[in-house]
Every structure is written in structure tokens, then in C-alpha cells.
């Protein structure tokens, strides 16, 4: 069996245990929403997830996807990313990581930052309240967008000559 398959099976097991522990039924729809998000690498929005699932699950509604994701978030199964865009983006909670958000195309990239993870937060944060977790969102322009912009500028400059 491939490593990835084992990993997915473990995650699904964890998911089922977490649902049962919270008295939540593991319905086919819930399982499919989780599974789809588990396999996604692009931090999809609820709308994107819905579009991917609707062919397989014709009775699914966008509203159900929203509610399901909200429930999963409360159970600590998924993480909702606050982005500058209007639509929240989701991912299954996995290895601790941070996010690079391209402000041009809206893609979200994962990156690791071990020295941040092991650093202590400033003590005055504790005066504000208790911290559950800390993560970093870096805003910028991804390499593909920067390159496209460069090529566009070059063409503009050429046409002006
Ligand atoms: Zn980009
Ligand atoms: Zn991520």
C-alpha cells in the first residue's frame, strides 16, 4: 500500500472518531466533504468544494457544504483561512504550517517555519488572552504572477517603441 493511502486512511479514521466523540453522525455527505478537502492541495473555498462534489453528490447543496465546514471547524478537523478575498478558504488540519497568499491570483501556498513554531510569543500577548495557535499569513505575488507581470511589461514596452 502506498504511503499516501495509509495516510488518508488514518486521517479518515481520526475524522470518524472525532465525529463520533462529538455525537455527530458520519453521514455519506460529511465523509465526502471531508475526503474531498483532504485530497485538495489548493485550500478551496466552500463554493469550489461544492462544484467538485455536486456531480458525485447530486443531493448536496452549497448551504450544506457551508454548514458542514463550520461543524468541522468547531470540531478542530478543518482550518479556515482568513484571506483578503470575500470567500473563506479551507483545509484539513495537518502538519503545522503557514501560508503565502498571492494577492494577484489568490492562490494559497503552504510553507514550513520551524523556528517560528518553537519561538515563544511576546509575553504581552498573554495579557490579551489565551492563545490556541499562532500562524503566519504572508502576502505577496507568487512567482508565476510576477513572471506574467514581467512579460506583460516587456510587451508593453516593445509596443511603445
Ligand atoms: Zn499568483
Ligand atoms: Zn495550508
Give CA–CA dist 85/134, Å, rounded.
21
Give CA–CA dist 131/128, Å, rounded.
9
Binding residues for Zn(2+): 102, 105, 142, 145
**Same domain as 102, residue 84:** no
In degrees rounded to 5, what are phi and psi of residue 153? -60, -40
Among 43, 67, 94, the domain-final residue is: 94
pLDDT at res. 1 = 55
Give the domain range for residue 44: 1-94
Beta bridge partners of 84: none
Binding residues: 102, 105, 142, 145
In degrees rounded to 5, what are phi and psi of residue 79? -115, 130
pLDDT at res. 5 = 81
At which residue does the C-alpha cell 488540519 appear? 93
**Same domain as 11, residue 89:** yes
**Same domain as 126, residue 72:** no
**Same domain as 54, residue 39:** yes
pLDDT tens for the chain, 161 residues long, are 566 788 888 999 999 999 999 999 999 999 999 999 999 989 999 999 999 999 999 999 999 999 999 999 999 999 998 776 678 899 997 788 999 999 999 899 999 999 999 999 998 998 999 988 888 999 999 999 999 999 999 999 998 87
Residues with Cβ within 8 Å of residue 35, at least 6 apart in sequence? 8, 12
Which residues have beta carbons under 5 A from ligand 1 (an ion)?
Answer: 102, 104-105, 142, 145
Residue 143, SS3 per DSSP: helix
**What ligand is nearest to the CA atom of residue 141?**
1
**Same domain as 152, residue 111:** yes
Q: How many domains does the chain have?
A: 2
Could you tell me how far CA 58 lies from the centroid of its own chain?
24
Give CA–CA dist 46/68, Å, rounded.
10
Among 64, 94, 124, the domain-final residue is: 94
143 CA from centroid of ligand 1 (Å): 7
pLDDT at res. 109 = 93
In this structure, what CATH number is given to the domain that contains residue 60? 1.10.10.10
Q: Where are the alpha helices (DSSP H) in the chain?
A: 3-21, 28-39, 46-53, 62-74, 114-118, 123-128, 143-160
- C-beta of residue 149 within 8 angstroms of C-beta of residue 140: no
Amino acid at each position: 500500500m502506498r504511503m499516501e493511502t495509509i495516510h488518508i486512511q488514518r486521517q479518515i479514521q481520526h475524522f470518524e472518531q472525532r465525529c463520533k466523540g462529538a455525537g455527530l453522525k458520519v453521514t455519506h455527505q460529511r465523509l465526502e466533504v471531508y475526503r474531498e478537502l483532504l485530497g485538495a492541495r489548493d485550500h478551496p473555498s466552500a463554493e469550489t468544494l461544492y462544484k467538485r462534489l455536486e456531480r458525485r453528490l447530486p443531493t448536496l447543496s452549497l448551504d450544506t457544504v457551508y454548514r458542514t465546514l463550520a461543524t468541522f471547524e468547531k470540531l478542530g478537523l478543518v482550518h479556515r483561512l482568513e484571506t483578503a478575498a470575500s470567500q473563506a478558504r479551507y483545509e484539513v488540519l495537518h502538519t503545522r504550517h503557514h501560508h503565502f497568499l498571492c494577492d494577484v491570483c489568490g492562490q494559497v501556498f503552504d510553507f514550513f517555519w520551524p523556528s517560528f513554531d518553537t519561538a515563544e510569543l511576546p509575553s504581552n500577548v498573554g495579557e490579551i488572552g489565551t492563545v490556541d495557535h499562532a500562524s503566519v499569513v504572508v502576502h505577496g505575488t507568487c512567482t508565476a504572477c510576477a513572471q506574467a507581470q514581467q512579460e506583460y511589461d516587456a510587451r508593453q514596452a516593445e509596443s511603445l517603441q
